Amino acid sequence: MDRKKQPRGTRNSRRERNKQTFPKKVALISVLGVSFILICGGVYATKIMQPKPKEVSKVKDDSLYKQKEALLLEKIREAKKQEELQSTEQEKTEGSIQTLIYEPVTTDTIPQLPTIKTELTILIEEAKKNLPKETAAKIVGYVKKIKTNEQVIGYQTTVDTYTWDSKKEDWSEKTVLGKNVAYVNQKTKQPLTLQDIFISEANLLAIYQVLQQKLLDESPDGNSVIDGVLNMPKISLDGTAFTYYPDKISLELPENPTGKKEITLPYKEIANYINPEFVDPDAIKDAVSAPLDPDKKYISLTFDDGPNPETTPRLLDILKEKDVKATFFMLGQNVVKNEELVKRVAEEGHEVASHSYSHPQLTGVDEQIVKDEVQQTDKAIYHAIGKIPTDFRPPYGAVNTEVAKIINKPIIQWSVDSQDWESHNAEAIIKRIHDTAYHDTIILMHDIHPETVDAVATVIDHLRGEGYEILPSKKLLGNKAKPLHMYYGSKDERLVQ
């Protein structure tokens, strides 16, 4: 379909309008273009007229950096000159990292030096790896001297890392210490040993009892692991690995049911069994038992073969009334039948000790029976009061070296025998003790005999009348009794033979 033709007048009119609009558009574009050029030119002119702060600042930073770098190096080197442990410097620079290593000059006083140097190299390499990239740093490796006391000196690898902080315009410092300290006995110039610290195997065996109890205390259910703990192989001076600290010691443990591989004992818990020359004095301050007053008379009351439900409660009443603490050497077979009575003995401040399970003469039976007699009683007493007995009185006083090693507890004998087991007479018991008692001795009685209980109040009164202070046996012995030794009094200690 053909389009209708527009009138000629209409087409002419449109051309005229277009002719008039075009010059206006050109003018507008020109104005915008000129404006844009002027703006850009102004910005550029302003920019090139401003100073260059980055270049000036960089020069300033370099100058400050060099100044503080020189001060830091001077400080480091001066500090090393002032240290008691003299050393020589080895310097190495790799890019922006400068390493200063200070090795001790006197090497014969540090037998572990090769190990120390190896650890120092490892620490330095770790410090380098941990640095941010392209960071100016100073790594200073040296051996730090630690003086515990006159007899023990420790040496510890140390790495100080200084990194430049451009924002703070100063050095930041970080120190990393080696995991191990090499301790040296200043008498022998050799690495510290367990013998230095504990002196004797007997003292270490006393510590063994402490760590057994600690394992049980830290176990969620001591009764479930007590067999394994009691049967754990003993530690020894030569065969036990350890980590020494000025205030405590960590001992490697044999395989045991608790799963623990080591145990840490503060010296204050074992102060009576260590050599004070080799520990920090503050670690055992007020922990070592004070000696008994030499101007006083002391004596100890001990009771064997109980507990007995008929006689022991009455005895406890008398001791409570007289304010006397005693030591009870109990038979395991009686403990299992009278647990509440055992608890009462412990709760009232008396010592609970072992007298075997069924009262055999231990020197006349085989080793397994000795072991069973000791361990069954340990278990029975632990089940009753949560503590393993630390002291042992062998039935009839019969003991030898082999038996003592199995018992692994201090052997508490006696020096005054009341002979209550023979007389069964209160007056005879009172007279016997009166005639034979003397200073620093241990009296033997039995809480299973009614006549003994009848005599106790008078015995206490007579002893006090003669000036005696009555103590439980452990306290009489200064809390220092140890396995493989037997004691008849505070001044009569003998090695079991």
> Rounded distance, CA 405 to CA 403, Å?
5
Residue 115 sits at φ, ψ, to 5 deg, of -65, -40
Starting at the edge strand found earlier in the chain, the sheet holding 137-147 runs 87-94, 97-104, 137-147, 152-165, 170-185, 190-191
Q: How many CB atoms lie within 10 A of CB 450?
A: 15
Q: Give the CA count within 13 Å in the CB-facing half-sphere of 122.
A: 10
Catalytic residue numbers read 304, 446
> Rounded distance, CA 479 to CA 443, Å?
18
Question: Can you spell out the DSSP letters for 350-391?
Answer: -EEEE--SS---GGGS-HHHHHHHHHHHHHHHHHHHS-----
**Integer CA distances (angstroms), 268 to 246, 315, 373, in order:** 11, 34, 32
> Rounded distance, CA 467 to CA 15, Å?
143
- From 303, 342, 340, select the one nearest 319 (Cα to Cα): 303
Contact assessment for residue 303 and residue 315, using Cβ atoms and an 8 Å cutoff: yes
Which residues, including other chains, have CB under 8 Å from residue 435's CB and lie 6 or more apart?
none
> Rounded distance, CA 234 to CA 452, Å?
39
3-state SS class at 90: strand
> Rounded distance, CA 458 to CA 63, Å?
94
> Rounded distance, CA 342 to CA 483, Å?
24
